[in-house]
A and B are shown apart, each in its own frame.
Chain A
Amino acid sequence: ILLCLFKNSLFLPCGDSSCSGPMSDRLLVKGAKIVNDDQSFMADIYMEDGVIKQLGENLIVPGGVKIIEAHGKMVMPGGIDVHTRFQMPDRGMVSADDFYQGTRAALAGGTTMIVDHVVPERGVGLMAAFNQWREWADSKSCCDYSLHVDITEWHKGIQEEMESLVKDHGVNSFLVYLAYKDVFQLSDSEMYEVFSVIRDLGAIAQVHAENGDIIAEEQRRILDLGITGPEGHALSRPEEVEAEAVNRAVTVANQTNCPLYITKVMSKSSADVIASARKKGAVVYGEPISASLGTDGTHYWSKNWATAAAYITSPPLSTDPTTPDYLNSLLACGDLQVTGSAHCTFSTSQRAVGKDDFTLIPEGTNGTEERLSLIWDKCVVSGKMDENQFVSVTSTNAAKIFNMYPRKGRIAVGSDADLVLWDPDVSKIISAKTHNLSVEHNIFEGMEVRGGPLVVISQGKVVLEEGVLHTTEGCGRYVTRKAFPDHVYKRIKARSRLTELRGVPRGQYDGPVCDVAPSPKVMSATSTAKTSPTRQQNAAQPMRNLHQSGFSLSGAQVDDNIPRRSTQRIVAPPGGRANITSLG
């Protein structure tokens, strides 16, 4: 047996030998309370080559294995930060935390996998941008990662690139923007077409939901009023504008039978829209972020410009200070399902690009390091959710939605050895002085949170122990994700079978037909082809005897013999329902 185990250790999980020293290949966690999303139980965990090999009591393991004593503390699947923007380019600048700094911060907080957003410049193409991001992440990331790809323009070529990304490159989620007018924003028609393509490919449609048209108008109005500071950011993006866009995205997704994922749920109203859509049966997921769960938008009114600017993100933090509590409650009751950080940090001098015009301030807040502790403190300590639900909203649900389960998001034999030994009692004050980021401000500055990681294991190696990080730059692997995740697509598939539409077989209508101008009613028409109403007064109007009142052109009606239903109810229309979400 020993020989056999020794042989196994020769198969290294990642090609880069620097990140898999023989010392750290084997690891045993003893006396742990394993916490998955469905249950908690006491067991030991034995890992080898970055994979969980055995789970149970009295495990037979090779000698000389590194042992971590959990002393009955919780061991849970490492967090998955489903939304990061490390090293993101913005107008020639790059966000302050790159893949190295960003993933280090993530690991320090108990997150062992991140999913970053590829943001292709218009005209660059999805594939070129995707390869660029891969290159960046492969060379710097300290933990496993995957990539969402953002659709920033729409034409035939993009559709082909999406297909190739899904089929050959392990991408199963694409984000569209309803904001950033004239830059990233897509129209409703484009959104409809993108969603149709996404559904056919078996991917997930993500939406940055804000009404960009209204924002553009409001921004101009606010600037005209002489409001140029960060408060203008919140004033020009009231939460209604977010809720409206969420509602519209849900409508389009229902219409195209496409699963929908709302990134950055920042306000009560948009969370409410998601919750009520889910009640009606829509396949929609909502992602609140560390910032919206932990703080609020009152800081935009800070007299210190740099502090106020540090909170700038879109959709903005709500100015209603009861928002974080509300969103945590919805997270606990299942109306919202996943959490990310939308970590996208800029230094003060980068923010200062917009010192005279809030619309130019680069957007994004920190949160990848604080996410787990923050949710533990706000939800588990306060009794809103239990430890199992904590695991589902910080890790498992993300793995299920994006088709990485049970490789990620679960402690089970065969799963990746990404684990966190969690200490529910440790208490910590968040501060820019101690965080693992390269920016001067932390939006959770001074907040005391209870609960934090004691030991973090990533790819079967201890990366955090006794408060010290042992990360290796570039050892993070790209995790491919297959199309048609069951968690999402089982329902979608069933519905697409049900929603087949049929025409009514009728005899040809052979009565008289009016002559009309050739321009169709709804198609685009040139103005010359349309008759103006002033000319139509001359058009011959049907002659009619105005003294005769009950005048009828055709006398008795064809279906007069059919009894009329005036009070009777028909339960379903004869042609079936068009609305796929009304399952009742």
Chain B
Amino acid sequence: SLGHSSSERLLIKGGRIVNDDQSFHADIYMEDGVIKQIGDNLIVPGGVKTVEANGKMVIPGGIDIHTHFQMPYRGTTTVDDFNQGSKAALAGGTTMIVDHVIPEPGSSLIEAYDQWKQWADEKSCCDYALHVDITHWDDSVKQEVETLIKDKGVNSFQVYMAYKDYYQMSNKELYEICSFLAEHGGIAQVHAENGDLIAEEQARMLQMGITGPEGHVLSRPEELEAEAVFRAITIASQTNCPLYVTKVMSKSAADVISQARKKGNVVFGEPITASLGTDGTHYWSKNWAKAASFVTAPPLSPDPTTPDYLNTLLASGDLNVTGSAHCTFSVAQKAIGKDDFTQIPEGVNGTEERMALIWDKAVTTGKMDENMFVAVTSTNAAKILNLYPRKGRVAVGSDADLVIWDSDSVRTVSAKTHNSEAEYNVFEGMELRGAPLVVVCQGKIVLEDGTMHVISGSGRFIPCTPFPDFAYKRIKARKQLAVLRAVPRGLYDGPVSEFSPMSRGGTPSASARTSPTKPPVRNLHHSGFSLAGPTTPDDIPIRPAGRRVMVPPGGRSNITSLS
């Protein structure tokens, strides 16, 4: 039903194919949405539509791994639905999006998943996949997560450490979720901010009479983001679960991720278009509507050197994937919070600008090469989602999602010309070098000569399978190493003190504990006094003070210390 006979076959001639590992000159022949041949002097059927690349780069279409199209918010919906959103994505050279399903706390994950799938199937103009957010946790959610992984093509689940009393998960829940996902081959994504502290700070700001958008960033300093990232990494490492930190917005959070990666943790960081392209100084704009349009969480950092820093870490491989977290609201919607910044709906644009922005900030500046560009905009995302090499690579058998990239084109970003419904664009006025010339999606040309030819509802749901090698090869190896063993000892048969029966780990009742007013009587003049006689000699000789033991006899419990 999707393939129109005229557009089923396509040949791109004279392009320079850019994958994440190498670039080379070759022609590409596509049929039925799949790349059939790559090489020189291809034998193709007659009458095939041919696009001349003239030596320009042909890259795998971008994968925007984080979108919130058509997201319900307190009775309204974000202004860019799956049609408008995916159209904007395609206009920028992104040929696949991964949207977040957000079930209301207490409601069914699968129902929400079905709902999102229905919306996307009706409207999406490009292929899509879904992350599912876990907004509450109990046994029924556990079962649903298992079903989603096994039967519904979802392998990534996001949990929130912010939004206290709403989406926020406790440490215990995070631990259980990570353990569960590790067992079933899922990826744990976190929205990392300390919700408890934010709630305290928000109350403090409002008390001080700060109600405008600047209160948003003042109540969410970047330390709170970094703290939560650190905690998430600890829990993930403890449960041996691969971790994916969505929306890396600050230097500190990025530093925590890169340090953890140096120690060997399996953790991926996702900066977004906004954090790579702009900063949080705009929250102080005198124009309320403009200031509000930058409101997103974690907030943009008020430190204007942040975008450059994050681009550098992206180039060095400390951060791995990029999304847009595209979630746009109209000014009237943002104005829900005109008297109270905590009520402003959160989200910024970025799906259309993502590729050009990274090209401009990272490739034209010499931070990364074209291959690395492909890795961070497409290939790494495909690997994490277990869609590689179907997506994220120009190769025979891969999906025909391609972009002919013009590295010299210069465009100015503006709300007047963008493909989003929002009145503001957070990158307004920014001049970006690099843009898609031709975009091929499912083997069909969707952008050519600046004109879009999209079909609403032509996007397919792409199921993601569990245990992606990219994340799980290491996890599996570590699981084998991390087996814990008890020390075989004889039974202790000496005297045992009387004590009140409640366990230290349980909830004590004050009465269950005897008051500490009567210490046992003891001969205080006798100093070396010993209850059990002389010290029992050890089986093993006592190690001399200066000697070092390299490994504890029971093995290490810390799986990330591989040394």
Contacts and interface: CB of A to CB of B under 8 A. Distances in A.
3 shortest interchain CB distances as A-B pairs: A564-B429, A89-B516, A213-B171
Interface stretch (B76-84, B137-145, B469-477): B76-84
Contacts of B45: none
- Most-contacted residue by chain A among B504, B515, B540 (CB, 10 A): B504
B77 A536 contact: yes
Given A553-B330, A557-B423, A319 B79 contact: no
Contacts of B104: 527, 530-533
Interface stretch (A42-50, A91-99, A155-163, A454-462): A91-99
Contact of B542 (A232, A445, A569): A445
Nearest to A346: B497
A577 B214 CA distance: 11
Given A180-B504, A222-B484, 18 more contacts: A182-B507, A183-B505, A183-B508, A214-B175, A227-B485, A247-B230, A251-B226, A255-B200, A302-B540, A303-B538, A306-B494, A501-B208, A524-B164, A539-B75, A544-B421, A546-B84, A552-B415, A559-B290
A511 B520 CA distance: 75
A122 interface: yes
A65 interface: no
Contacts of A359: 503-505
Interface in B136-189: 163-166, 170-172, 175-176, 179
Interface string A548-584: 0111111011110001101001110111011101100
A93 B288 contact: no
Nearest to A542: B79
A517 interface: yes
A124 B515 CA distance: 10
A189 B87 contact: no
Nearest to A319: B552
Nearest to A182: B507
Nearest to A556: B416
A183 B507 contact: yes
A217 interface: yes
Interface in A87-108: 87-94, 98, 100-101, 104
B37 interface: no
Interface in A66-112: 87-94, 98, 100-101, 104
B115 A213 contact: no
Contact of A303 (B84, B119, B496, B540): B540
Interface string B492-533: 101111111011111110100111110110101001111111
A353 B542 contact: no
15 contacts: A91-B499, A183-B504, A211-B231, A217-B172, A234-B552, A239-B558, A240-B237, A244-B234, A436-B527, A503-B212, A541-B77, A552-B423, A558-B287, A575-B283, A575-B284
Contacts of A188: 194, 196-197
A132 interface: yes
| B interface secondary structure, majority | loop
Contacts of B530: 432, 438-440
Interface string B208-248: 11111011011001111011001100110110000000000
B530 to A, nearest CB: 5
Contact of A214 (B238, B287, B288): B238
B416 to A, nearest CB: 6
Given A98-B519, A550-B416, A564-B430, A297 B552 contact: yes
Contacts of B119: 537
Contacts of B283: 573, 575
A24 interface: no
B105 A530 contact: yes
B53 interface: no
Given A308-B487, A558-B289, A577-B302, A504 B212 contact: yes
A544 B84 contact: yes
A512 B335 contact: yes
Interface string A333-377: 000000000000001111011010101100000000000000000
A355 B490 CA distance: 11
A550 to B, nearest CB: 5
A532 B539 CA distance: 64
A533 B76 CA distance: 11
A240 B265 CA distance: 12
Contacts of B194: 188, 248, 251
B503 A347 contact: no
B72 to A, nearest CB: 4
B562 interface: no
A179 B231 CA distance: 14
A303 B513 contact: no
Contacts of A559: 285, 287, 290
B221 A255 contact: yes
A429 B167 CA distance: 58
A448 interface: yes
A562 B164 CA distance: 38
A520 B342 contact: yes
Given A303-B540, A530-B104, A571-B304, A440 B200 contact: no
A321 B290 contact: no
Interface stretch (B13-21, B106-114, B438-446): B106-114
A181 B507 CA distance: 8
Nearest to B554: A301
A252 interface: yes
Given A522-B342, A569-B304, A349 B287 contact: no
Contact of A432 (B198, B331, B498, B535): B535
A298 interface: yes
Interface string B455-477: 01000000000000000000000
B4 interface: no
Nearest to A307: B538
Given A240-B238, A251-B227, A347-B531, A557 B284 contact: no
A435 B527 CA distance: 8
Contact of A93 (B73, B488, B497, B502): B497
A446 B542 contact: yes
Given A122-B510, A446-B542, A509-B288, A552 B200 contact: no
A301 B81 CA distance: 59
A62 B187 CA distance: 80
A520 B339 CA distance: 13
Nearest to B227: A251
A426 interface: no
A390 to B, nearest CB: 19
